[in-house]
Amino acid sequence: MTAFVATVVLSGPVSAAVGMWSEGDRARVRLLTGGLDADGALTGAIEIELAPGWHTYWRTPGAAGIPPRSDFSMSGNVGDLTIRYPAPHRYDDGYAISNVYQGRVVLPLVIDVGDVTRPVDLRLSLDIGVCHDVCIPAHFDVAVEAPPGATDAEAARVITDAWTQVPGPPEPAVLAVAGLERTGGTDRRPEYAVTIVNADAGPVDVFVEGPADWYAGVPEPSGGGDGSIYSVAFDRLGAKTPIDQARFVVTIVAGNRAIEQTVGPD
């Protein structure tokens, strides 16, 4: 049986583009902000460092795990905010297969600023699972203040590097989803086939996310001769989203390349 231990860590605001670390038992977290992008949005990031051998979870954790929960509602001079996620790794603990980050992960942020002439007071309440032989539900409150025009070389480097780990758009004829169709199963547990294009013909990892109230299994190679077709089943017990209205997000990881594509059933 998995043991759970709770931890709460607090950090006050820092008037810089790099926030202070909030230290936990097996993880620490900080916020960073960069400059304005071409669209006038502020770039930023959540940086999470984990103790050796420990991991945390992707936005869709898989068969076991704790998804991250982020709350920026206490921020000031902030409009819409988008969190982007690097591609995860699969982790099999002998009981379940999960989608995880190990060691360190940086989640890029795109932040709409209300008034670019005023400071941005970025405040995050973050809940994550930190796991090894036990799972620790960890809570962090972190903050950073970004004055207008503030720049920081360390923040810029970390944020730029983080974006290289985020899956890009599909690359037709190179790396992409060619189709997704329902192949069987039941209304409670529908099954789908995902056909991918992988010009390099090397090994890939495929992650398929359905509606928020559906639970995805692990996609398995199921045909195509060249390994281009993957079968995935979903558990819809208690789901409200109708099958015919489902949309899917497919992430394909091939070596150092990754893409993310939203598709509907053919």
Pick the CATH number of 175-263 from 1.10.10.410, 2.60.40.10, 3.30.70.20, 3.40.50.300: 2.60.40.10
- Residue 27 pLDDT class (50, 70, 90 cuts): very high
pLDDT score at 38: 74
Are both 7-163 and 175-263 of the same fold? yes
With beta carbons less than 8 A apart as the criterion, state whether 252 and 206 touch.
yes
d(CA 183, CA 30): 44
Q: Specify the pLDDT at position 41.
A: 87
What's the confidence (pLDDT) of residue 2?
Answer: 36
Kindly list the domain boundaries of the chain, sorted by start residue: 7-163, 175-263
Give the pLDDT mean for 65-78. Answer: 96
pLDDT, residue 230, reads 96
- What sign does the dihedral 209-214-218-221 (CA atoms) show? negative
Confidence of residue 5 (pLDDT cuts 50, 70, 90): very low
pLDDT score for 224 = 67
- The 3 state secondary structure assigned to 65-106 is CCCCEEECCCCECEEEEEECCCCCEEEECCCCEEEEEECEEE
Question: Rounded distance, CA 227 to CA 254, Å?
Answer: 13
Distance CA 220, CA 227 (A): 10
pTM, two decimal places = 0.90
CA–CA gap between residue 57 and residue 52 (Å, rounded) = 15
pLDDT digits (tens, 9 = 90+) for 222-246: 976 666 999 999 999 889 999 999 9
Q: Which has more pLDDT, 182 or 95? A: 182
d(CA 58, CA 72): 18
- pLDDT at position 225 is 63
SS (H, E, C) the chain: CCCECCEEEECCCCECCECCCEECCCEEEEEEEEEECCCCCEEEEEEEEECCCCEEEEEEEECCCCCCEEECCCCECEEEEEECCCCCEEEECCCCEEEEEECEEEEEEEEEECCCCCCEEEEEEEEEEEECCCEEEEEEEEEEEECCCCCCHHHHHHHHHHHCCCCECCECCCEEEEEEEEEEECCCCEEEEEEEEECCCCCCEEEEECCCCCEECCCEEEECCCCCEEEEEEECCCCCCCHHHCCEEEEEEECCEEEEEEECCC
Look at residue 122 and tell me whether its pLDDT is greater than 60: yes
What does the pLDDT read at residue 227? Answer: 67
Taking a C-beta distance cutoff of 8 angstroms, is the pair 204, 215 a contact? no
Least confident of 75-79, 152-156, 247-251: 152-156
For 248-266, how does the pLDDT look when each residue is reduced to its tens digit (9 = 90+)? 999 999 999 999 999 987 6
Range with the poorest average pLDDT among 103-107, 131-135, 169-173, 211-215? 131-135
Is residue 210 within 8 Å of 194, Cβ to Cβ? no
Nearest CA among 88, 109, 39 for reference residue 249: 88
> Across the chain, what does the average pLDDT equal?
90
Q: Which residue has the higher pLDDT, 150 or 118?
A: 118
pLDDT at 67 over 90: yes
Separation of alpha carbons 59 and 76, rounded Å: 25
- The yes-or-no verdict on residue 31 having pLDDT over 70 is yes
pLDDT of residue 15: 38
Per-residue pLDDT band for 202 (boundaries 50, 70, 90) equals confident
pLDDT over threshold 70, residue 12: no
The yes or no reply on domain 7-163 and CATH 3.40.720 is no
| Integer CA distances (angstroms), 152 to 15, 107, 149, in order | 12, 18, 10
Closest of 194, 183, 190 to residue 236, by C-alpha: 190
pLDDT above 70 as % of the chain: 92
